[in-house]
Structure 1
Amino acid sequence: MTDRPQYGEYATPEEQRRLAGLPPVDAVTEAPIATAAPAASAAEAAPAQPAARPWDRIITIALLTYGVVNVFMTGMSYLDLPTMMNESMKILGIEGEFTNFAQGKVWGTVAAIVLVVGWVLTAWLSMRRLRSGKLTWWLPLAGAAATMLVASVCITIPMMNDPAFIAYLDGASGR
């Protein structure tokens, strides 16, 4: 073994940089050091910040509020479907009364449940999207359209099996 110093052992940082062909320490600007962290620990350390869209939040909450009022009012009328069908038949000018009470009660209850479940699902998805910062105003509209489509099918079933309505359709097709 030799007592000779190893490379850079006694050199100052400035001498080491000069001998390595690097610029002086004073000439180097501080740059942030980007370290690659595992995806799980990065997500735990700094959760994603939602984009600031106060108008989206206001519109979404307003639509959900309107939706819950609509679900309550419409759901209550669906629970008394025979009365609603009689009123609808009078408005359409259909003679006779709605007499398909058994199916009307069952399918009216199913339609009311569909409205509630559709609103709850829409509200849950909307809140998740709002928390993650995604654009959400369209979701209550799409949820309402999909829910009303399913509920409409539910109330159409007893209407299409009602003798007065069938007679009206037979008379309208024969004209």
Structure 2
Amino acid sequence: MTGSRPDAPRRRPVDRLVTIALLAYGLVNVVVTGLSYLDFPTAMNQMMSALGVDGEFTNFAQGKLWGTIASIVLVAGWSLTALLSVRRLRSGKVSWWVPLAGGAVTLLVASICAAIPLMNDPAFIDFVAKTAGG
């Protein structure tokens, strides 16, 4: 043999680099987005302004609750994704796809959390009704 054990994990430097880069990008995204969700009315006002919604976000109670939940979902999702990625890297398995899949699932759940107070906001409901009515 050439000195390598048959059960030793395979080294994949490109996979390792891509996985770590995706995790780092995800961490920055989680911090920025999580902090914006903690100031939910400001984030929703910016989003509503970009969409052309007349009025401001006023569903403050639900916004605070669901913004906090969405922030927690982002942190928990990233943490679980990082844990699974590191475990796969250590075992020598291809890992680049884990941050992508984890990010997609986490984003979906966090977006649902953020949509709940938005869908109950009077200005946004009015905008949707006008848009749907033609």
Q: Which TM-score bucket, shorter chain as reference?
A: over 0.9
Q: Greater Rg, structure 1 or structure 2?
A: 1
Mapped pair 1:67 → 2:58: no
Aligned length: 130
The structure with the greater share of residues assigned to helix is 2
Match of 2:71 in 1: 112
Spell out, residue by residue over 1:151-173, the C-alpha distance to the aligned partner (whole angstroms, 9 max, x if none): 00000000000000001111112
TM-score normalised over the length of structure 2 = 0.94
Runs of 5+ unmatched residues, structure 1 = 1-45
In 2: Cα distance, 1:125 partner to 1:60 partner: 11
Question: Residues 48 and 132 of structure 1 are in contact (CA less than 8 Å); yes or no, is this contact kept in structure 2?
Answer: no
SS of aligned partner of 2:9: coil
Spell out, residue by residue over 1:71-93, the C-alpha distance to the aligned partner (whole angstroms, 9 max, x if none): 00110000001110011111100
What is the root-mean-square deviation in Å for CA atoms of aligned residues?
Answer: 1.2
Spell out, residue by residue over 1:4-58, the C-alpha distance to the aligned partner (whole angstroms, 9 max, x if none): xxxxxxxxxxxxxxxxxxxxxxxxxxxxxxxxxxxxxxxxxx7931111111111
Runs of 4+ in 1 over 3 A off after TM superposition: none
In 2 relative to 1, CA 125–47 (structure 1 residues): closer, same or farther, beyond 3 Å?
farther
Percent identical residues: 65
Match of 1:166 in 2: 125
